[in-house]
Structure 1
Amino acid sequence: MAERSVAQQMWRLFEPVHAVTYFAPACLQAWQDAGLRGYWRGYFAGRVAPLGPVGPGPVVGSFFGFAPAMVARALPDVWTRIAPEKALAVRLGAARAALGPLVAEIDQAELAELAGLLRAAAARVPVAGRVLGAANAALPWPEDPLEIIWHAATVLREHRGDGHVAALVTAGLDGPESLVWRVSRGGTDRAFYQQIRGWTDDEWDAAADRLRTRGWLDPTGTPTDAALGAARELEATTDRLARSPWDTLGPDATRRTAALLAPIAQAAAPLLLWPNPVGVPDPRGEPSTGQPGAG
């Protein structure tokens, strides 16, 4: 198996740290305590808050895979229930509550070192054309090391996600097509993605028909060689667009960041949903050192 790129390996470590905000019981409870009943109100409030009190349009564009009707059920109504400034405070406090018990045994000097390294990486993300990455990067940095770690992971993952969306658009895919294409390659099923992204049966079937016309699905819904090749190219493009923070940080500092981050990612894994909706692999299957390669 080909060696993974640095960007791919680092994503496998920082994504689980960020993702506690969507799955950890402490985070879900925090949104309920803030008056947001129902999972999706908390999800959209927390993830959209860096953009301000926007309506569904910018979110449909930047989130990419969600059905417009699903987004419109949450926005702009959620801003009548919580202000974006309050949502930012809730999500940061909730992430700290979820991650705090996981790092209780970690040496505080190492935690502070990791915070400094991740902040240095996140502070160097290029933001041109990266709507969610730029919005999160523009937020004030917290002072607590654990909160810095979570915030840096969030900037890095939204920066990577923006690049992934750019790669999907360059490949000529729209939101439902990207999901049909993902499901066709295995790992989860159609019902799961329709439920969490809001596409109707008719919308899903129409997207599958477009992929068949393009030559990416055969009549049985199996991905063609062209589709599999495009998937490899898209993954490589996503990694290439996400590698600049690690190139700037340098190989030695990146290796140290990975080694310090790996145990936190592995400790966070039991709080998450597997398979993960964003496709990140379970870090408990990664080497304990988390050492990135040179690719």
Structure 2
Amino acid sequence: MTFGRRAWQTIEPLHGFIYFAPEAHERFEALGLHGGAGYFASRSAAFGRASAETVIATFYNFNPAFVRLNIPAAWEKATPEQVLAARLDAADAALRRGLGDLIGTDAVAETAALTRKAAEAACQRLEGRPLFAAHAALPWPTEPHLELFHAQTLLREFRGDGHIAALVTAELTGLEALVVHAATGYLPAKALRKTRQWSEEDWAAAVTVLQERKILEPGEELALTEEGRAQRQHVEDLTDRLAEPAYAALGEDGVERLVEVGKPLAQAVIEAGMLPHLKKK
């Protein structure tokens, strides 16, 4: 495991909670953004009034019809500025709930400083990273826990844009990439298909294509072939390499310190039940 991947995996809960937090759903619904509209609008609002095509391209594995059902209609209910403000307010409330007494501690301030250093290094590599670049143009919050949230948002989108580049290079469509992900067993296929709104017919067609390409084993059970496992590993390795410029600014010692000081914060968020797909320890 590269030191960049270790840092990302450790700190990611301090961003990822925003997609599950009831505080976020409540604020988006107050703007008239229900279900998928809140997700698509809140993550793409950094672009301004993003088109459906922009969201399809940069989010990658959602059914385009699902995106078009929500975007650009979301912008008739709320402005991008309102959505961004609601998202930050939700992050503030959720982190205060999840971190509790840890809010305002030196651990939060140090983790924020380290992630910000990595994120600012990433900002020197904007090219080819549209979703990251859009978020990089947003102002930095001043409170340490929100500075940490924003920094990790940038690092997540920096890595995500690189991951999409790797998937395009592997000649995997968004749906095919989702099926390959399901075949690893990390998350159930049914859940991935449902949240991305792909029909059973669309899913089955993608499985057939991947079987014909010798990426999936024949049969009803999703399983990667040896070639499929090699391709998946190549995509993950390339994703790691493309994310390294951010963490190189910290060096291995800095990453080790980030993991040390940030892990208890991330674990607090998990223990608070803010990421339902991750088990509490």
TM interval, short-chain normalised? over 0.9
Cα root mean square deviation, aligned: 1.6
Alignment partner for residue 114 of structure 1, among 101, 111, 115?
111
SS of residue in 1 equivalent to 2:186: coil
The code of the aligned residue for 1:87 comes to V
Q: Equivalent residue for 1:250?
A: 251
* Aligned counterparts, 1:1-295, within 5 A: 4-36=1-33, 38-106=34-102, 108-125=105-122, 126-220=125-219, 221-269=222-270, 270-274=273-277
Give the Cα separation in 2 of the matches to 1:47 and 1:88.
9
Greater CA drift, 177-186 or 60-69: 177-186
User: CA deviation digits over 1:118-175, x for unaligned, max 9?
Assistant: 1111111121101111111111111111110000010000110111111111111001
Tell me the CA shift for residue 11 of structure 1.
1.4
Q: Equivalent residue for 1:290?
A: none
Contact 2:99 2:269 in 1 (8 A): no
SS of residue in 1 equivalent to 2:101: coil
| Alpha-carbon distance change, 201 to 83 in structure 1, aligned in 2, over 3 angstroms | same
SS of residue in 2 equivalent to 1:104: helix
Give the Cα separation in 2 of the matches to 1:12 and 1:22.
16
Give the Cα separation in 1 of the matches to 2:267 and 2:127.
32
SS of residue in 2 equivalent to 1:272: coil
Contact 2:14 2:149 in 1 (8 A): yes
Tell me the CA shift for residue 47 of structure 1.
0.3
Runs of 5+ in structure 1 lacking a partner? 276-281, 286-295
User: What is the identity percentage for the equivalent residue pairs of Structure 1 and Structure 2?
Assistant: 38
Q: TM-score, normalised by structure 1?
A: 0.88
The code of the aligned residue for 1:272 comes to L
Contact 2:107 2:262 in 1 (8 A): no
Q: Displaced runs of 4+ in structure 1, greater than 6 A?
A: none
Runs of 5+ in structure 2 lacking a partner? none
Q: Equivalent residue for 1:288?
A: none
Give the Cα separation in 2 of the matches to 1:71 and 1:63.
10
Tell me the CA shift for residue 34 of structure 1.
2.9
Tell me the CA shift for residue 35 of structure 1.
2.9
